[in-house]
């Protein structure tokens, strides 16, 4: 396959993945477990990161972040707009970067292992930076929420009351879907290159 054809294919696929990220995150606002929506949008971010690298992962993570800012961050935005923007943009964008950075070195060993590790890395970075943002920018509010929910310990609330259920549901689903899709697309990419 010519370099120009491969670039057109990549741009087309990234356009499709970008649209999928927007639609999935916009729809996820209606799917809630606990306080926040379920982020299955990690799947197309991991797929893009696995197939096209760090820039693709960062772009898709950034798009995810922007959609979150407009659809699912009102509670935080009213408390600290700057802290909300920083937290949301960093967590999404760096989740995509993490997926690519983890995928590439493991890809030669095993596409399956690389996809699992990339999905897990994206999920962990996304949640860890969200929790860090909560502590840095919203600690007083988080303390109030914890007390209102009956938690004496803010750390326990952060992990079990605020994000725990989401993480436990999202992670296995994101890993399973990302792994299957990446393997199928890697196979398709190999077949397309073989025919060219």
> Could you give all domains of the chain from N- to C-terminal order, each with its CATH number?
3-195 (1.10.1760.20)
Q: What is the structure's pLDDT at 4? A: 80
Instruction: Write out the two tokens for 128.
Output: 């860890």
| DSSP strand pairing (32-33 vs 36-37) | antiparallel
> pLDDT (tens digit, 9 = 90+) per residue, 99-129?
999 999 998 898 889 989 999 999 999 999 9
pLDDT band at 98 (very low <50, low <70, confident <90, very high): very high
pTM of the model: 0.85
Check residue 33 and give its pLDDT. 56
Say whether pLDDT at 32 is over 80: no
Looking at per-residue pLDDT, the higher value among 126 and 171 belongs to 126
Q: Which residue has the tokens 């502590």?
A: 135
* 61/7 Cα distance (integer angstroms): 21
State the average pLDDT for the chain: 85
pLDDT at 29: 61
pLDDT at 164: 72
Q: Can you tell me the mean pLDDT for 131-147?
A: 93
pLDDT at residue 194 tops 60 = yes
* CA–CA dist 25, 18 (Å, integer): 11
Q: Do residues 133 and 73 touch, judged by C-beta distance below 8 A?
A: no
**Beta strands, E only, the chain:** 32-33, 36-37
Give CA–CA dist 51/59, Å, rounded.
13
- Look at 103 and 193; give whichever has higher pLDDT: 103
Confidence category of residue 192, pLDDT binned at 50, 70, 90: low
State residue 173's pLDDT score: 79
Tell me how far apart the alpha carbons of residues 182 and 112 are, in angstroms, rounded to a whole number. Answer: 8
Q: How many residues does the chain have?
A: 196
Which range (3-12, 22-31, 147-156) has the least confidence? 22-31
User: Look-up: residue for tokens 């927007």?
Assistant: 22
Q: How many CA atoms lie within 13 A of 1 on its CB side?
A: 15
């Amino acid at each position: 396959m010519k370099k120009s054809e491969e670039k057109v294919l990549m741009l087309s696929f990234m356009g499709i993945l970008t649209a999928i990220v927007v639609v999935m995150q916009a729809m996820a606002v209606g799917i809630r477990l606990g306080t926040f929506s379920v982020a299955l949008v990690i799947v197309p971010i991991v797929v893009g990161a696995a197939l096209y690298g760090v820039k693709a992962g960062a772009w898709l993570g950034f798009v995810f972040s922007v959609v979150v800012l407009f659809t699912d961050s009102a509670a935080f935005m009213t408390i600290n707009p700057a802290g909300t923007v920083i937290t949301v943009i960093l967590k999404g964008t760096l989740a995509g970067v993490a997926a690519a950075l983890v995928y590439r070195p493991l890809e030669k060993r095993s596409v399956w292992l690389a996809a699992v590790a990339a999905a897990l890395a994206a999920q962990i970075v996304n949640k860890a930076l969200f929790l860090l943002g909560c502590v840095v920018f919203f600690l007083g509010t988080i303390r109030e929420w914890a007390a209102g929910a009956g938690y004496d310990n803010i750390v326990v609330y952060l992990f079990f009351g605020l994000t725990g259920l989401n993480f436990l549901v999202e992670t296995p689903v994101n890993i399973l879907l990302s792994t299957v899709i990446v393997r199928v697309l890697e196979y398709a990419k190999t077949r397309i290159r073989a025919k060219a």
